[in-house]
Structure 1
Amino acid sequence: MAAPRLTVPVLKAANLALLVLYPVAWAAPLVRAGFLPLFGLDEISVLSGLQALWDSDIFLALIVTVFALFAPWLKTLGLALIQFGLLDRRALPAVNILGKLAMADIFLIAVYITLAKGIGVGRIETAWGLYLFTGCILASLLISLAESRDKTRHS
Structure 2
Amino acid sequence: MAVAPGRSPREPQAGEANIRGKTLYLWSDLWPAVDHEGEVLEFFGTKTRDKVSVLKFMRKAMRRYGNPQIVVTDRLRSYGAAMREIGNAHRQETGLHLNNRTENSHEPFRRRERAMSRFRRLRSLQKFASVHSSVYNHFNHQRNIESRA
Higher relative contact order (CA 8 A, sep 6+): 1
- Quick check: which one's helix share is greater? 1
Superposition TM-score, scaled by structure 1 size? 0.28
Q: Which structure has the larger Rg?
A: 1
